Amino acid sequence: MTIKSAFAHSFKITFATDNKLKLTAVIKNKINLSFIVLQLFALPLISQTDYWQQKADYKIDVDLNHTNHQYKGKVSIVYYNNSPDQLDAMYFHLYFNAFQPGSAMDIRSRTITDPDARVGDRISNLKKDEYGFLTIKSLKIDGKSQTFFENETILEIKLGKAITAGAKVSIELEFEGQVPIQIRRSGRNNTEGIDYSMSQWYPKMCEYDYMGWHANPYVGREFYGVWGDFEVNITLDKKYIVGATGVIQNPLEVGNGYAAEGAKVKQPSGDKLLWKFKATNVHDFVWAADPDYIHDQAQVAGGPTIHFFYQKNKDYSNTWKDAQALIVKGFEYLSKNFGSYPYAQYSVIQGGDGGMEYPMATLITGNRKLPSLVGVTIHEGAHSWYQGVLATNESLYPWMDEGFTSFATDETMSQLFKSGMSSYHQNAYNGYFDIVREGKEESLDTHADHYLTNYAYGTASYNKGEVYLAQLEYIMGPTNFRAGLLAYFNTWKFKHPTALDFIRVMEKQSGLELDWYHEYFGQTTKTIDYGIAQISGSASSTKVALVRKGLMPMPIDLEVKYKDGTYETFLIPLDIMRGEKPADGYNGKWTVLEDWKWVSPSYQLNISKPASEIESITLDPSELMADIDRKNNLISPDMSLNFFWSAE
Ligand SMILES: [Zn+2]
C-alpha cells in the first residue's frame, strides 16, 4: 500500500506519514555535494561504555489566555548532574522564538534550495501579534538568581556556581510566551481549525551527554531531550478539551471523556479549568486544546489505553471511529515485534501540520481516508519505540529514529492491510536508489541541521535508514536480526543509544563483526554493486565468475534454479565478518562457500552440474541487498544472445 502525498515524488515514504516532511517540489538544481562539508560533519563512531545520563524532573504550571494567545508559567526542575564533569554553563531551548522574522529558522527556510512548503517565507511575514515568543522573566538555581542571555532559540546561562559531578540542583524559572500562528509543528489555529497545538512550548533543558552540550538552534529539525518525570498543570478557559503527554490526574474535575464511565464529574466553578497531567520517564511534553474535540478511548490488550481526540466533521469523524480497532491491532503488533510499549497511555491528537511524534502522544492532521489515518497514526505510534523510548539524539542520528520507525511502520501496515509481504520495504529502497542516481546523496552521519537539502535529509533519514535495517536482516539472517531488534530495545530503552551502540547489540546477537557495515553504509555514500560476469563449464560442472563493481563489500547469497524445478542456494561470506548468518533463510538449505576477501573485486565458484541443466542464476534473490544495479544480478545460460555466456 502506498499513499501518495505531496512529496512522494521526492522521498519515497511508503505511507507518506510524516507530513512534517511535506515539501514543495524539490528544486532539481544540480547540487555539488561538497566532500569537505560532508567530512566536517561526519561523526566519530563511538560506543558508550561507562554509560551515564542526566536527569531532569519538571513541574510546570502554565496559564493560557486564549484572547491574546499568550501564556505565563513557572517551571521547577530538579536537575541531576550524573555526568563525571563539572558544569559551568547550562542551556535551554526556547523554540517559539524561531517564529520571528530574521530567526535562524526563517533564514534557513528562505535560503535552502528546497524549502518546506509549510515554512517557506511565512516567518518573515509574521506580524507582532502572530509571532511566537518564549521569554524568561526570572531564573534561580538553588535559590540564587543567575545571569542569562536569550540567544534566540537558546537560553545561555553562565552559572554563578559550577555544578559539580554527581550534584543535584533545583532550578526555578518564570516564563512568558505567545503561541505563534501555526507554521511548523506547533501553533494556533491550524489548517483544520484546531485552536492550540502546543509542542516545543516551554523552556526545555538541552541535553548534556558524553559529547557535551547539545544546544542546537531550532531551524526545523527534530529533537533531543533529558530523561525525567513531568508534572504539568495547565489552566485555560473551560470551553477547551485538552489532550496531552502523560496521564490525567484529576479526571473527576475535568470530565470530557477522562472520567470512568458512570463516574460523577464535578467541574470546579469559575471560567477556567485546571488540567493536571503526569508522565514518568519521558523527555518531552506536548499538549493540544480545542473546544470541539470528541474524546474516545480504546484498550490495547496488555498494553496502553489509546486516547483519540478529533473534531466532529462529516468528512472524517467516522473514519476516526473506524481507525481505532486497526490502531489497537497495530500497537499489539508493534509491542510483540519491536519491544513492549512501557507506558499506560498513548494519545492520538488531531492538531499540528501533518504528523509529529512526542512521548506518549502524537499531533496529526485529521482529514484523511482510512489507510492514511491509520498509516500516519501507526508511524507516529511506532516512534514511541524509537523516538519515545530509545530516544536517540535526532540531530546526530535522525535515521535511527525515522528510518527504524519507517521500517516498523511498513511491516505493521502490511499486517493490518494484508499487502504484499515480499516487498514492504521496496519503496524505501527505491527512494534510496533514486537519490544515488541523481548524485545528491549525503551520508547518514551528517548532522540533521547541516544537510544541503531537505531532499537529502529526508531520503537519508527515512529511506536509507529503513534500508539500513532491512539490509541488516539480509546480512545477519532473520532469526538473529529479529532477536537483535528486541535486544536493542531492551538494552537501550530509556537511554540514548548511538549508531555503534546499536551495532554492538547486533554483533553480540549474531556473533558477527558488523562495524564495517556502519562504516560503509552509515558513514559514507559508497554504494553496492555486484554482478555475474561470466559462466563457463564442462559436461559435468559450471564455473560462475562474480564481480564486485561497487565500493562497498557485502556477503553474497546466490540462487541457482535447475531445469528440473529444484533450487540450490550458495552463501559467500565476507571475510571481515568472521563468520556468516545461520541457515535460517531459503528453507534452511544452502552451501557455505569460501570467504570473499573484501579487497578482491572478483570471485569464482563451481557448481557441480553442467550449464545445460541450469535454468538461471540469481545473485541476491531476496533483493534485500541495496544493489544499485540489479540488471547484472540474473543470468540464464539458455539466453543465446546473452553476451556473458561462453561455453568451453
Ligand atoms: Zn517519523
pLDDT in tens, 444-482: 999 999 999 999 999 999 999 999 999 999 999 999 999
| Number of Cα atoms under 13 Å in the Cβ half of residue 270 | 10
Distance 15 CA to ligand 1 centre (A): 10
Distance 249 CA to ligand 1 centre (A): 29
Distance 381 CA to ligand 1 centre (A): 9
Distance 118 CA to ligand 1 centre (A): 17
CB atoms within 10 A of CB 634: 16
Task: Write the secondary structure of 175-200 as one string of H (helix), E (strand) and C (coil).
Answer: EEEECCECCECEEECCCCCCCEEECC
d(C-alpha 190, C-alpha 184), whole Å: 10
Distance 466 CA to ligand 1 centre (A): 11
d(C-alpha 69, C-alpha 571), whole Å: 63
d(C-alpha 38, C-alpha 451), whole Å: 8
Distance 366 CA to ligand 1 centre (A): 16
Distance 411 CA to ligand 1 centre (A): 15
Distance 427 CA to ligand 1 centre (A): 15
Q: How confident is the model at residue 638 (pLDDT cuts 50, 70, 90)?
A: low
Distance 374 CA to ligand 1 centre (A): 14
The rounded mean pLDDT for the chain is 91
pLDDT in tens, 341-390: 999 999 999 999 999 999 999 999 999 999 999 999 999 999 999 999 99
d(C-alpha 280, C-alpha 246), whole Å: 8
pLDDT in tens, 256-282: 999 999 999 999 999 999 999 999 999
* Signed CA dihedral, 282, 286, 291, 293: sign only: negative
Q: Output the nine-digit C-alpha cell for 56.
A: 531532569
pLDDT in tens, 580-612: 999 887 766 899 999 999 999 999 999 999 999
Distance 555 CA to ligand 1 centre (A): 30
d(C-alpha 420, C-alpha 17), whole Å: 19
Distance 112 CA to ligand 1 centre (A): 21
Closest CA to 584 of 566, 606, 569: 569
Q: How confident is the model at residue 538 (pLDDT cuts 50, 70, 90)?
A: confident
Closest CA to 621 of 578, 582, 587: 587
Average pLDDT over residues 403-421: 88
Q: How confident is the model at residue 46 (pLDDT cuts 50, 70, 90)?
A: low
d(C-alpha 214, C-alpha 397), whole Å: 13
Closest CA to 553 of 616, 487, 456, 475: 475
Per-residue pLDDT, 9:
33
Q: Residues 6 or more apart from 111 whose CB is under 8 A from it?
A: none
Q: What is the DSSP letter of 597?
A: P
Distance 187 CA to ligand 1 centre (A): 19
Distance 13 CA to ligand 1 centre (A): 10
Q: How confident is the model at residue 637 (pLDDT cuts 50, 70, 90)?
A: confident
Distance 450 CA to ligand 1 centre (A): 19
Distance 607 CA to ligand 1 centre (A): 46
Distance 462 CA to ligand 1 centre (A): 8
Distance 638 CA to ligand 1 centre (A): 47
Q: Who surrounds ion ligand 1 at CB < 5 A?
A: 18, 402
pLDDT in tens, 245-262: 999 999 999 999 999 999
